[in-house]
Amino acid sequence: MKVLVVGGGGREHALVWKIGQSPLVTKVWCAPGNPGIAGLAECVPVAVDDLDALLAFARTHAVDLTVVGPELPLTLGIVDRFQAAGLTIFGPNAAAARLEGSKKFSKDLMAKYAIPTAAYQAFDSRDEAVDYIRRQGAPIVVKADGLAAGKGVVVATTVEEAVQAVDEIMVDAIFGAAGARVVIEEFMAGEEASFFAFTDGKNILPLASAQDHKRIFDDDQGPNTGGMGAYSPAPVVTDRLHRDIVETIVRPTIDGMAAEGSPYAGILYVGLMIAEGKPRVVEYNARFGDPEAQPLLVRMKSDIVPLLLASARGELSGERIEWLDKAAVCVVMASGGYPGPLDLGHEIQGLAAAAQIDDLLVFHAGTALQQGEIVNSGGRVLGVTGLGATVAEAIDKVYLGVQAISWPGAQYRTDIGRKALGR
């Protein structure tokens, strides 16, 4: 069968790598792809939001399965367009993708179906939002309602910081239309985890546990990013907690979406805060996490293609996933300046040396080919991912790879996976 992967980041590189291993697959395209993906699939120069061109390509090339990586085409309705044309596509339709596309929608759904999360209020007015913040005090969380590439969340430690966040989002419009509305939430203390499940709109198939690292600097300091590294499994998610998450969060979310007339099919990503053994929802995403996809897919022993097809076709009942009895750690190497103004265009050294390291994979995210050289072209540049018998071994492996790679201004965290060692 022929597969089209939509996207060009580290998540899509990992998906292409995993999909290409399936004996069912004879051809993989990726739109637009990146220089790393080009070694595994044929890259197609089509942007992720050019739905007309993507649909035309899939029709012309008789694509059997399309797999959507990023959130933007999902919220724009790529799944609706492909399904209307009779094409098989993995991911939620536009109505279901509102779980990620609107934080107010997702919070309202959680409130209606008693899904544990932080108390919140949504505001279209800057002054009303600021009045609410002053009444509530700090710490407090300010979120842009719409899509902001993982950066539209400010955990404010003071009232002044929260007010500044509202002004930047609503007045300065740093996230454009995504910040026309803000959601203000109570601050939740605890340890974060990422939980993923395949679903066909009714059946649920959970994945292994993972933990992301959102802040730019070690010890969870500095501003939020799209994610600076992840590992799997995450010991904070015990077997009992895993069951609790499915029963109290994932199942009522899927059932609630169906009851609302917007059945959710695809991969559901639940960002969690865990305190005293109890999980609460931080946010939903309508796609694989990035960088969590990298360690998860490296650990996945099963063929992913039947799972993608079963989710898309409503046939997930009876499917199972086998996992390697190993740990995987992904460290994101980012451009200088990230998550602010970026220092781009530097040749990346050491990729060939890293490729020689056993049980190490380098997934490209923000790279480009210029005059025959691979250069950094985005904020998050590479997702270096190592496998080991334990998390400690995987940490040693991944940092061996990270230290082999360099370019001017490259930055990365040195503590990815450390929380697991304490457990």
pLDDT tens for residues 220-249?
999 888 899 999 999 999 999 999 999 999
In whole angstroms, what separates CA 390 from the centre of its chain? 24
Name, in order, each residue with C-beta under 8 angstroms of 215's C-beta and a sequence gap of 6 or more: 221, 222, 223, 224, 225, 228
Tell me how far CA of residue 415 lies from CA of 80, 95, 269, 297, 329, in angstroms: 41, 38, 23, 21, 11
What does the pLDDT read at residue 223? 87
Gyration radius of the chain over CA positions = 20
Distance from C-alpha of 110 to C-alpha of 96, rounded to nearest angstrom: 14
The pTM assigned to this predicted structure is 0.94
Please count the residues of the chain: 423
The pairing of beta strand 42-43 with beta strand 27-32: parallel
Contact 118, 141 (CB under 8 A): yes
State the Cα angle at 246 between 244 and 251, rounded to 5°: 130
CATH number of 125-180: 3.30.1490.20
Surface-to-core class of residue 356, CB atoms within 10 Å of its CB (0-12 exposed, 13-18 middle, 19+ buried): exposed
In the block, residue with structure tokens 């997930």? 316
CATH 3.40.605.10 fits 2-94, yes or no: no
For 33-118, strand residue ranges (E) read 42-43, 65-68, 89-90
What does the pLDDT read at residue 150? 67
What does the pLDDT read at residue 151? 72
CATH topology assigned to domain 327-421 = Glycinamide Ribonucleotide Synthetase; Chain A, domain 4 (3.90.600)
Q: Which CATH architecture has domain 191-313?
A: 2-Layer Sandwich (3.30)
pLDDT tens for residues 248-275?
999 999 999 999 999 999 999 999 999 9
Cis peptide, bond prior to residue 116, ω within 30 of zero: no
Tell me which residues of the chain have a pLDDT lower than 70: 150
* Residue among 72, 380, 14 nearest 224 (CA): 380
Determine which helix (DSSP H) or strand (DSSP E) holds 135, and give its type and residue range.
helix 126-136
In the block, residue with structure tokens 């005059």? 371
Domain ranges of the chain: 2-94, 125-180, 191-313, 327-421
